[in-house]
Chain A
């Protein structure tokens, strides 16, 4: 899909779409994001790293579920 920007994880670990189980998701599909907006967090050995969008656009879809195990370089979401 031309024009789409993939967000990839720089680390292996567990991906979360919410800051904590009781809170709202950082972003939902169809939502607009700017560079620097947090779209999720990755837990690696009890440390949490924010995954931020590098571009401006609309989050067209998440390619991994929340709490799913992810690898380095795995695509997390696509931004149009």
Chain B
């Protein structure tokens, strides 16, 4: 059954190709939109139709609601898949889709708006009985306000922008002086970066692991989880390695975490795919809701590998008004999957490396490769440095990691600088193999020896 005749993909790169793949499988026609910089990109060639939407700067093309809507109307697409990033969590875009009778493949704009404001999201989740990071959700108007509240909460604390997310707009403060120093600039930066100067304080968990739960809800009130992903290995708050299942959770903790996530989803009447992100205290095993991403996640392939489900297909199904049709008891987490992100950047300095990929050799008999580019393609300086995702699977964690090692050892990429060697070093590292890591893993490894990154 095909849920729509034609779907427009308001995105680019690997995720546009990924969505085109499922649409094609389901017999749905696809429409790509592209900027000047992407005229020759693989996703443009692979779509059934393609519309030019503006110059290379994302603000004038992929982030321009009007240009994307024009393409949708011209192409007569019935639905828009936003992918991740760009307009995927922009309530105004979702509203524009509604106003033009085009189905937005995601939750409704009110939910996106509420979950996009962290202070609001925390309130909703607390009401639903989901544990949130201890902190203060009231208004912090002045540095004096913040200082007196911080005194009660106790340091160290995290000062966060309510409208921030994905690691942007956060400051760790260890004492009064630090809080005094960053408070007004944090407020100002939140205002200019997100158009909302609200900031809040929450406890800083020093030894943290990042574990998230994939959830789905339909328009009939059904909600399920597709288990967890652990994304603890990060560089500057950007994920580098993702796994499912997490090596940290025992069956009881996993059950509790996933059930709490579903409870939160039901409470807010969530529809379509979402991810409930949690910070888990490595010392105590306590978990707290961090934020909800109201879209498909970059690392969704690891969930697809262990559950055998096509997450984009489920998104299309729900957007078309169908029921989920899957009972929680039918969702299984089988084996182990791992994803590593290949970035076009220097692994030591994180300095980006645009250029032309003169050679790209990927193994043919092992692994899944969700790549934005092919050999001979250019990596332009305009968008995210992630050029591809490498996904491996095994019957257990050791087997999955072994498979990833073999795959990474076979990959050849030339013409640009990448973090390939860093990825190899992580999956071959003893601490990683025994599951001993927190979100500071990469920093600690680099401090211990610069060779880890090269």
Question: Which one of B240-248, B324-332, B344-352 is at the interface?
Answer: B344-352
Is the pair A67, B384 in contact by a Cβ cutoff of 8 Å?
no
Interface flags, A55-77, vs B, CB<8A=1, else 0: 00000000000010100000000
Q: Which single member of B189, B191, B192, B381 contacts A13 (CB below 8 Å)?
A: B381
A14 to B57, CA, bound (A): 7
Is the pair B344, A45 in contact by a Cβ cutoff of 8 Å?
yes
Residues of the A chain whose Cβ atoms lie less than 8 Å from the Cβ of B380: 12
Distance from A10 Cβ to chain B, minimum over Cβ atoms (Å): 11
B354 at interface, CB cutoff 8 A: yes
Q: Which single member of A14, A21, A44 contacts B192 (CB below 8 Å)?
A: A21
What's the dominant secondary structure at chain A's contact region?
loop
Is the pair A44, B193 in contact by a Cβ cutoff of 8 Å?
no
Query: Given A44-B354, A47-B350, A11–B381 Cβ distance below 8 Å?
Result: yes
Interface flags, A9-48, vs B, CB<8A=1, else 0: 0011110000011110000000000000000000111110
Is the pair B351, A47 in contact by a Cβ cutoff of 8 Å?
yes
Q: Which single member of A12, A21, A22, A23 contacts B354 (CB below 8 Å)?
A: A12
Residues of the B chain whose Cβ atoms lie less than 8 Å from the Cβ of A21: 192
Residues of the B chain whose Cβ atoms lie less than 8 Å from the Cβ of A67: 57, 59
A44 to B56, CA, bound (A): 12
Is the pair B344, A69 in contact by a Cβ cutoff of 8 Å?
no
Residues of the A chain whose Cβ atoms lie less than 8 Å from the Cβ of B192: 20-23
Residues of the B chain whose Cβ atoms lie less than 8 Å from the Cβ of A47: 350-352, 385
Q: Which single member of A20, A22, A45, A69 contacts B384 (CB below 8 Å)?
A: A45
Query: Given A12-B381, A22-B192, A45–B345 Cβ distance below 8 Å?
Result: yes
Residues of the B chain whose Cβ atoms lie less than 8 Å from the Cβ of A45: 344-345, 352, 354, 381-385
Is the pair B383, A69 in contact by a Cβ cutoff of 8 Å?
no
A4 to B192, CA, bound (A): 36
Query: Given A21-B192, A22-B192, A46–B384 Cβ distance below 8 Å?
Result: yes
Q: Which single member of B191, B351, B382 contacts A14 (CB below 8 Å)?
A: B382
Q: Which single member of A11, A23, A46, A69 contacts B56 (CB below 8 Å)?
A: A69
Interface flags, B365-389, vs A, CB<8A=1, else 0: 0000000000000001111110000
What's the dominant secondary structure at chain B's contact region?
loop
Is the pair A20, B382 in contact by a Cβ cutoff of 8 Å?
no
Distance from B372 Cβ to chain A, minimum over Cβ atoms (Å): 12
Cross-chain pair count, CB within 8 angstroms: 45
Interface size on B, residues (CB 8 A): 20
Interface flags, B20-64, vs A, CB<8A=1, else 0: 000000000000000000000000000000000001110100000
In the complex, which of the residues A22, A23, A69 has the most CB atoms of chain B within 10 Å of its own CB atom? Answer: A69
Residues of the A chain whose Cβ atoms lie less than 8 Å from the Cβ of B354: 12-13, 44-45
Distance from A13 Cβ to chain B, minimum over Cβ atoms (Å): 4
A67 to B344, CA, bound (A): 23
A20 to B59, CA, bound (A): 14
Chain A minimum-CB-distance residue to B60: A67
Residues of the A chain whose Cβ atoms lie less than 8 Å from the Cβ of B351: 47
Q: Which single member of B56, B193, B350, B383 contacts A20 (CB below 8 Å)?
A: B193
Distance from A65 Cβ to chain B, minimum over Cβ atoms (Å): 12
A20 to B191, CA, bound (A): 11
A66 to B438, CA, bound (A): 41
Query: Given A44-B352, A45-B345, A69–B55 Cβ distance below 8 Å?
Result: yes
Residues of the A chain whose Cβ atoms lie less than 8 Å from the Cβ of B191: 22
A46 to B62, CA, bound (A): 14
Residues of the B chain whose Cβ atoms lie less than 8 Å from the Cβ of A22: 191-192
Is the pair B385, A46 in contact by a Cβ cutoff of 8 Å?
yes
Closest 3 CB pairs of A and B: A45-B352, A45-B385, A13-B381
Extra 17 A-B pairs, beta carbons < 8 Å, given A12-B381, A14-B381, A69-B56: A12-B380, A14-B382, A20-B192, A20-B193, A21-B192, A22-B191, A44-B352, A44-B354, A44-B381, A45-B344, A45-B354, A45-B383, A46-B383, A46-B384, A46-B385, A47-B351, A69-B55
CB-defined A-B contacts under 8 Å, sample of 26:
A11-B381, A12-B354, A12-B381, A13-B354, A13-B381, A13-B382, A14-B56, A14-B57, A14-B381, A20-B189, A22-B192, A23-B192, A43-B381, A45-B385, A46-B383, A46-B384, A46-B385, A47-B350, A47-B351, A47-B352, A47-B385, A67-B57, A67-B59, A69-B55, A69-B57, A69-B382
Residues of B with Cβ closer than 8 Å to A?
55-57, 59, 189, 191-193, 344-345, 350-352, 354, 380-385
